[in-house]
Amino acid sequence: MRRIDLSCKLLAPIVVGFMMSSVSVLASPVLIAVWNIISVGIEYWLLHHVYVSMPALQQKSTAHQAYQASSQFAESNAEEVELSVFERDNMSQMEGHEEVSLLKNTGQQTTSRQSTFLNKLKKLPVIEGWVTYMHQEAVLAGLALAVLYFTVLSFGSLMSAFLSWRGIPPYVLGLARGVAAMMGILATFIFPIVHARLQTVRTGNWSIWIQWSLLSVCVVSVWIHNSKVASLLLISGVAASRLGLWLFDLSVTQLMQESVPVAERGVVGGVQRSLQSLMDMLTYAVGMVIVRPQDFGITICMSYGAVLTSALLYSMHVYRVRGHLFHFDRLLRPRWIHNT
């Protein structure tokens, strides 16, 4: 599925770029609009077909209902225990300390009300979804993936506008997007091979640090005075880093599928999408603040720092799951010991 998605991302920029350069700028959005109008009906028909052909999708999860029922039962028992303890303490204290017990009674009632309010607050769908997400084993991996969306180091509108300001023609941007998509497609072929040797957690760890290392070229371009050379370094660094990015994306997706319970996958996936959209929105907010093209280097450094933050978050996940990051003992031991 990822390969199909990236193949579309490979072809679309090339077609649009050449249309903008050879036909007209207006022809590209008209083509995209017509394509979306035609495809939206097909997409809805396919979704309906999947929903009808799989009866399991039409049934509510019994595991999730059982989980909610057990949670409500546990909360009701806890409230009864708290009430009985309160009554016993109140009866013992009223014998000689009526005024003190009255104050404690008021304080306990206030605490009970606050506890009830917090329990009701946690049951709200929005809050409950975030609580469920934060209790997942792969929460740090999910946060690491979401942080990557806070970046201008992609062939999006902000970086494309900056490169256009530097005089890069549209067809070059289209070719660059195509190369970046090819790197992503290459990642889909490499992932099964690497995953078979390193497993999911280690594959993600290596891939995110590879992405961060390749993006160092983009930071170097900030201090290059020759605009053509700087643009070439920026485009090359972003395109090459797509290999690590999509390897990491596949690794985190695999982790979510393996670790998240079936009854909670919809909720966790929704929160993950919300986080990614939030980070993406913050990127455009930064673009509204830093408006001068001459200051685009600041956003490059900020994006580079976001990728570093993502790598550190995922490394924390690796250490929490495996207890170590690398096998230093294997690196320090002589090679002949491994052979024996």
Burial class (CB in 10 A: 0-12, 13-18, 19+), 96: exposed
Q: How many CB atoms lie within 10 A of CB 215?
A: 24
Burial class (CB in 10 A: 0-12, 13-18, 19+), 183: buried
The CA–CA distances, whole Å, from 3 to 130, 190, 267 equal: 31, 12, 26
pLDDT of residue 100: 47
pLDDT of residue 233: 94
Compute the average pLDDT of residues 283-301: 93
pLDDT of residue 112: 59
Q: Average pLDDT over the chain, rounded to whole?
A: 81
Lowest mean pLDDT among 11-20, 186-195, 200-209: 11-20
Q: How many CB atoms lie within 10 A of CB 26?
A: 10
Compute the average pLDDT of residues 92-107: 51
Report residue 169 as tokens.
């023609």
Q: What is the amino acid identity at position 172?
A: V
pLDDT of residue 237: 94
Residue 161: pLDDT band (50, 70, 90) is: very high
pLDDT of residue 85: 41
Q: Does the pLDDT value for residue 338 go beyond 70?
A: no
The CA–CA distances, whole Å, from 110 to 98, 227, 251, 271 equal: 18, 66, 47, 33
Q: Does the pLDDT value for residue 227 go beyond 60?
A: yes
Report residue 161 as tokens.
């506008």
Q: What is the largest CA-CA distance in the chain?
A: 95
Q: How many CB atoms lie within 10 A of CB 61?
A: 15
How far is it, in rounded angstroms, from Cα 340 to Cα 334? 11
For the segment 297-320, what is each residue's pLDDT rounded down to a tens digit? Answer: 999 999 999 999 999 999 999 998
pLDDT of residue 88: 46
Please indicate whether residue 60 or residue 337 has the higher confidence score (pLDDT).
60
Burial class (CB in 10 A: 0-12, 13-18, 19+), 316: middle
